[in-house]
Amino acid sequence: MLGYIDKIREIAKGILENNKVDMVIGFRQGTVPMMNEPCIIKRPEDVDNLVWDGNCGINLANYLPGRTEKIGVIAKGCDSRNIVNHIIENKINREQLYIIGVPCKGMTDRHKLAALAAGEIVAVEESANSVMIKGADFENTFPKHDVMQQNCLKCTHRNPVIYDALAVDLADEQTDIDRYADVRQIEELSVEAKQQHFTDLFAACIRCYACRNACPLCYCPTCFVDESRPQWLGKGQDAIDIHTFHFLRAFHCAGRCTDCGACERACPVGINMRTLTKKLEKDCADLYNWEAGLTLDTRPPLDMYDVGDSDAFIK
Amino acid sequence: MEILKIKKDDLSKGLDALKKSYRLFGPAKTESCHEFKRLEQDEQPDFNFSNTRLSPKAIIYPQSETMFTYSLDENDEDAHILKEVNSLDAPQAVIGIRPCDADAFLLVKRNFDAPDYKDPYWLNAYAKTTLVGLACEKPCPTCFCTTAGSGPFSERGVDILLADAGDDYLAKVITDKGSALAKAAGWDAPSDPDSATEEIERLKTAAEEKISSHVETDHLDKIDTTALHQAPFWEDTAFACINCGTCTFLCPTCWCFDIQDETCGAKGERLRNWDSCMFPIFTVHGTGHNPRGTKKQRVRQRFMHKLKYYVDKYEIGIQCVGCGRCIRSCPVNIDIRKICNLMNHYKPDTVEEPAS
Amino acid sequence: MQNPYLPYPVRIDEIITETEDKNLKTFKFVFLNPEDEEKFAYRAGQFAELSIAGKGEIPIGIASSPTEKGFVMFTVNKVGLVSTHLHAMQVGDIMGIRGPLGNSYPWDVVKGKNLVIIGGGFAFTTLRSSIIYLLDPQNRADYGNIDVIYGARTPGMLLYRDELAEWEARDDINMHITVDGTDDPDWKYNTGFVPTIADQKAPPGDDDTYAIICGPPIMIKFTQPVLDRNAYAHDHIIMSLENRMKCGVGMCGRCNIGREFVCKDGPVFTLAELNKTPKEY
């Protein structure tokens, strides 16, 4: 994925110069290792500020809803699927967008690297197959596969599904991936063990809502947690309120979630809330043979009713 | 000011003795980081850390705390009348708090201990808490405490400051609270004051030299508030922000809160919960009007509060101790150092001469 | 240590529906503990948090005057969770009041001066408090001419209609009541928006004349140029602001405009002061 940036800049410059777009949404170099900052580029001469590497895990589709400009947007496979969602859900028009597709080989897991490091990381060097981290008194190299975001390891849609230009030739998709081994493990637990699993999972939650706010699907003007009339749940640190937030948010993403991993990546306390969204993704696959964000032609299954819909869950 | 010498073995013995009269909190290793937690009978703090992921502010200022209780049962004589709850009365101590985090309590105290109003919850918990600081010998690359008005050996907010001198800790006893705690712990071995002072100075200088990250704050008080508020850089600065509460909840100097009633059956509690200027509902009026309805307005509020309004209001510097947590944990790399410098160097456009 | 968050328990003594849309009700409260009334010593222009256990609190301007004893009075618009619940409560119900809060109108500064009081819609509550206070025989001689310009959408939307009529009949206060429009043939006062009537009726500004304005943002927006045109200096224009509040004592952090807290440093500011702060209200 290194080396894509020259082509990205060239495309961005071209569409800005030709006034095809008013701005390009991409990433600029972060101020700390493993972090790039989403940014807007408005002038062709500024495209050199754009960067692309394994630290672009934030989903840029999140920055599109409600914008009225013509926008060039850089999109990995997952970002492009969320753009499809946005178009279907009328959050942005296809005609407004110039999608610079970037086939993706996976993003590095900043939480995992931070946990592996023997101190604060001051530099990260990425090569084709490995990632090296450096700190004040340590230096380690890991195979890329070992420090990749969990969702990227199981990704079967690395290539953008819609695009106006490609930064590089389409990549080979990963095959023979078992996407739901972790979900099945939880499904097999007893009710009590499941309860314990989720209690442990969310114990560290500080209700900062970084997961919700990093998620392109969570664009509700007023989220149900913020409603006061009626007030659906308490605002304190009660475990049941916290669980309710995560569960309901996941349900609201059912059939829409692309497993882009932005929620888990954004979480400051390292909670893997993706086990919830993946369970619903699995159910949508099982019940409706559905994967979110692959086509502009069909609305998500929970948006529609079909007489053939499964009703096996009604007991 | 007394400097005690505590053999490393005696530290844990002293802490065990303290557990009889104090609730102790200290850094503990979790799966991926260190966090402050209550130290139970058989537990010792783990000092092998740079700083905790969350700040220790919750020990004095819990994320959610009960302010009052009430009953809605009409048969109760006091139905619908709010009742005060018993406040914390046992002493507690935080062992191994970093000097920046201890300093932060002093900044926050200015808010809760105003001349006209006193916040009884915060002030009571603060009064009951002794802070045993652990001087920072290996600051993080994102620490900028020395230019934020604190430092790796800052003595301002701590009651005792421990410095790691190899086989011993040199413990500088700063306040009466610290002195009482040292006595209860049985730490009474004096050090040679001259050589101990010299040693602490040496360690301090070495630690300060390792701080590689800085902010500039010298012009903040001189810039016109409304001009800074109108500065063009806010648009670009705020773009990436997703308006989550990470920065404000992890920050040791952020104190904003919400008040909520929660009823269960006929009994209920009025709670105080941390709140965040990043959240749109923080400021929304009953009518739906929101004076800080956009992301740009909210991001600007956070930085203007810390780096301008606070500076002007209290005239003691910025509302930040340079712990670096917001930088390390921001999901989208909003960096207070960059923004502080932008603000400090901002020159409002002068009116251009009309072309002749 | 006095707990600034603890409300005084009160009983609802009287409820008056003020307006034809029934969205505005006036509540008179009596303190359960008589000594709390003394602790609640207030000035016109201050506000209080009305507290309903299980629902929360709302900041509301005090509509009664410090010269009225034995009760405190608030007029509440039905908008959110707490105010809607309050509107459904009955005489005799128990709730709480926390305050008085905020700074009040600057009565020491305006002593001996002429006052132009301009209000619109339901934001007339602390202005009623002020007028009752000014007209009190103990106080009236301390102030110069008093002009009141008060408007609402329709006659039925005016607050305190009986008192407005009483004041109309007096010769120590000049009332200029107006409505945006009405088809009532018996309407004998002005018709037109508050800024227009202010332009016609407000005396010209000078060192000895202060304007006190309280109303919806749109009214304030169009009244300010009128006062500018009539030579009111910005430090002679006094305004009362609203912002979302929780603590009311300058601690919870949400109601600030720049470094000032609307709850504690305000809600009353001069326009000259507001010109120096970000317009986040």
Rounded Cα gap, residues A225 and A240, in angstroms: 13
Chain A partners within 8 Å of C80 (Cβ): 228-229
Handedness of CA C239, C243, C248, C252 (dihedral sign): negative
The reply to whether B265 and B202 lie within a common domain is: no
Rounded Cα gap, residues A214 and A34, in angstroms: 17
Rounded Cα gap, residues B202 and B200, in angstroms: 5
The reply to whether B91 and B41 lie within a common domain is: yes
CB contact under 8 A, B271 and A265: no
**Residue whose pair of structure tokens reads 């923004």 in the numeric block:** B339
**Residue whose pair of structure tokens reads 């230096």 in the numeric block:** A139
Closest chain A residue to the Cα of B30, Cα to Cα: A115
Rounded Cα gap, residues A161 and B284, in angstroms: 39
Rounded Cα gap, residues C176 and B73, in angstroms: 49
The reply to whether A163 and A207 lie within a common domain is: no
pLDDT tens readout for residues C184-200: 999 999 999 999 999 99
Chain A partners within 8 Å of B279 (Cβ): 209, 226
The helix (run of H) or strand (run of E) holding residue C149 is: strand C146-152
pLDDT tens readout for residues A94-128: 999 999 999 999 999 999 998 898 888 999 999 88
CB contact under 8 A, A236 and B243: no
Rounded Cα gap, residues C159 and C239, in angstroms: 19
CB contact under 8 A, B257 and C246: yes
How far does the CA of residue B338 sit from the closest CA of chain A (Å)? 9
Query: Is residue C1 very low, low, confident or very high in pLDDT (cuts 50, 70, 90)?
Result: low
- Using H for helix, E for strand and C for coil, what is the string for C14-32? EEEECCCCCCEEEEEEEEC
Phi, psi of B223 (to 5 degrees): -80, 140
Query: Is B341 within 8 Å of B216 (Cβ atoms)?
Result: yes
- Beta strands at B83-84 and B64-71: parallel, antiparallel or unpaired: antiparallel
The reply to whether B140 and B277 lie within a common domain is: no
Handedness of CA B143, B145, B146, B152 (dihedral sign): negative
The reply to whether B239 and B335 lie within a common domain is: yes
Asked if the model's pLDDT at residue C21 lies above 80, the reply is yes
The helix (run of H) or strand (run of E) holding residue B70 is: strand B64-71
The reply to whether A7 and A99 lie within a common domain is: yes
Query: Is B325 within 8 Å of B51 (Cβ atoms)?
Result: yes
Is B354 among the domain residues?
A: no
The reply to whether B101 and B185 lie within a common domain is: yes
pLDDT tens readout for residues C34-68: 999 999 999 999 999 999 999 999 999 999 999 99
- Collapsing DSSP to helix, strand or coil, A85 comes out as helix
Nearest to C53 among B70, B284, B292 (CB): B70
The reply to whether B204 and B224 lie within a common domain is: no
The reply to whether B93 and B172 lie within a common domain is: yes
Q: Which of B174, B209, B244 is the last residue of a domain?
A: B209
Peptide bond into A230 cis (omega under 30): yes
Interacting residues of A310 by C-beta distance below 8 A, sequence separation 6+: A287, A288
Partner A, chain C 65-94, Cβ-Cβ below 8 Å: 80-81, 84
Rounded Cα gap, residues C203 and C100, in angstroms: 32
Is A213 among the domain residues?
A: yes
- Domain total of chain A: 2
Nearest to B258 among A35, A114, A235 (CB): A235
Rounded Cα gap, residues A84 and A94, in angstroms: 9
- Residue C14 corresponds to which amino acid? E
Q: Which of B161, B182, B209 is the last residue of a domain?
A: B209
Alpha carbon A193 to chain centroid, angstroms:
29
**Distance (Å) of CA A156 to CA A282, A294, B53, C56:** 14, 12, 34, 49
Asked if the model's pLDDT at residue B180 lies above 90, the reply is yes
CB contact under 8 A, C250 and B120: no
Q: What is the dihedral of CA B200, B203, B208, B211, to 10 degrees?
A: -140
Chain C partners within 8 Å of B271 (Cβ): none
Is A309 among the domain residues?
A: no
Alpha carbon C189 to chain centroid, angstroms:
22
Chain C partners within 8 Å of B111 (Cβ): 250-251, 253
CB pairs < 8 Å spanning A and C: 6
Q: Name the maximum alpha-carbon separation found in chain C.
A: 59
The reply to whether A86 and A8 lie within a common domain is: yes
Nearest to B292 among C5, C246, C280 (CB): C280
pLDDT tens readout for residues B226-272: 999 999 999 999 999 999 999 999 999 999 999 999 999 999 999 99
Handedness of CA C160, C164, C166, C171 (dihedral sign): positive
CB pairs < 8 Å spanning B and C: 134
Q: What ranges do the domains of chain C cover?
A: 8-101, 114-240
Chain A partners within 8 Å of B236 (Cβ): 39-40
Mutation target vs B (from A35, A39, A226; most B CBs, 10 A cutoff): A35
Ordered per-residue pLDDT tens for chain A, 315 residues? 667 999 999 999 999 999 999 999 999 999 999 999 999 999 999 999 999 999 999 999 999 999 999 999 999 999 999 999 999 999 999 999 999 999 999 999 999 998 898 888 999 999 888 999 998 889 999 999 999 999 999 999 999 999 999 999 999 999 999 999 999 999 999 999 999 999 999 999 999 999 999 999 999 999 999 988 888 999 999 999 999 999 999 999 999 999 999 999 999 999 999 999 999 999 999 999 999 999 999 988 888 888 888 888 777
Rounded Cα gap, residues C19 and C25, in angstroms: 8
Is A45 among the domain residues?
A: yes
**Distance (Å) of CA B289 to CA C56, C57, C222:** 20, 19, 18
The reply to whether A190 and A281 lie within a common domain is: yes
Q: Is B281 on the interface with A (CB under 8 A)?
A: yes
The reply to whether A162 and A47 lie within a common domain is: yes
Burial class, A95, CB count within 10 angstroms (exposed 0-12 / middle 13-18 / buried 19+):
exposed
What's the confidence (pLDDT) of residue B66?
A: 97
The helix (run of H) or strand (run of E) holding residue B66 is: strand B64-71
Mean pLDDT score, B295-302: 97
How far does the CA of residue A91 sit from the closest CA of chain C (Å)? 28
Q: Which of A175, A205, A236 is the last residue of a domain?
A: A175
**CATH 2.40.30.10 for the C8-101 domain, yes or no:** yes
What's the confidence (pLDDT) of residue B349?
A: 75
The reply to whether A168 and A224 lie within a common domain is: no
What's the confidence (pLDDT) of residue A2?
A: 62
Is A125 among the domain residues?
A: no
pLDDT tens readout for residues B186-227: 999 988 889 999 999 999 999 999 999 999 999 999 999 999
The reply to whether A171 and A230 lie within a common domain is: no
Is A221 among the domain residues?
A: yes
The reply to whether B106 and B231 lie within a common domain is: no
The reply to whether B145 and B107 lie within a common domain is: yes
Handedness of CA C262, C267, C270, C271 (dihedral sign): positive
**b vs e for C251-267, b when ≥16 Cβ sit within 10 Å of the residue's Cβ?**
bbbbbbbbbbbbbbbbb
Mean pLDDT score, C231-238: 95
**Distance (Å) of CA C157 to CA B57, C14, C197:** 49, 20, 17
How far does the CA of residue A230 sit from the closest CA of chain C (Å)? 9
Q: Which two tokens stand for residue B269?
A: 């509690």
Q: Is B37 on the interface with A (CB under 8 A)?
A: no
Chain A partners within 8 Å of B254 (Cβ): none
Interacting residues of B336 by C-beta distance below 8 A, sequence separation 6+: B215, B247, B303, B306, B320, B326, B327
The reply to whether A165 and A229 lie within a common domain is: no
What's the confidence (pLDDT) of residue A1?
A: 62
- Domain total of chain B: 2
The reply to whether B14 and B93 lie within a common domain is: yes
The reply to whether A5 and A75 lie within a common domain is: yes
**CATH 3.40.50.2020 for the C114-240 domain, yes or no:** no
Query: Is B283 within 8 Å of B299 (Cβ atoms)?
Result: no
pLDDT tens readout for residues C73-111: 999 999 999 999 999 999 999 999 999 999 999 999 999
pTM, 2 dp: 0.94
- Collapsing DSSP to helix, strand or coil, B99 comes out as helix
Interacting residues of B187 by C-beta distance below 8 A, sequence separation 6+: B4, B6, B10, B14, B171
Residue A209 belongs to domain spanning:
178-302
The reply to whether B41 and B110 lie within a common domain is: yes
Q: Where are the alpha helices (DSSP H) in chain C?
A: 34-39, 81-87, 125-135, 161-168, 194-201, 217-229, 271-274
Q: Which of A147, A175, A203 is the last residue of a domain?
A: A175
Closest chain C residue to the Cα of B309, Cα to Cα: C259
Closest chain B residue to the Cα of C52, Cα to Cα: B80
Rounded to a whole number of angstroms, the CA Rg of chain C reads 18
The reply to whether B233 and B103 lie within a common domain is: no
Pick from B163, B30, B11: nearest CA to B93:
B11
DSSP string, B159-172: SEEEEEETTEEEEE
Pick from A42, A81, A43: nearest CA to A60:
A81
Is A118 among the domain residues?
A: no
Is A85 among the domain residues?
A: yes
Q: Which two tokens stand for residue B266?
A: 């006929």
What's the confidence (pLDDT) of residue C230?
A: 92
Q: What number of residues does chain A have?
A: 315
Residue B186 belongs to domain spanning:
2-209
Is A165 among the domain residues?
A: yes
Is B353 among the domain residues?
A: no
Partner B, chain A 199-258, Cβ-Cβ below 8 Å: 206-210, 212-214, 222, 226, 234-238
Nearest to B291 among C54, C93, C280 (CB): C280
- Beta strands at B2-7 and A165-166: parallel, antiparallel or unpaired: unpaired
How far does the CA of residue C164 sit from the closest CA of chain B (Å)? 27
Neighbours of chain C (3+ CB pairs under 8 A): A, B
How far does the CA of residue C81 sit from the closest CA of chain A (Å)? 6
What's the confidence (pLDDT) of residue A27?
A: 97
**Distance (Å) of CA B199 to CA B5, B170, B195, B208, C218:** 12, 9, 6, 14, 66
pLDDT tens readout for residues B310-346: 999 999 999 999 999 999 999 999 999 999 999 999 9
The reply to whether A281 and A220 lie within a common domain is: yes
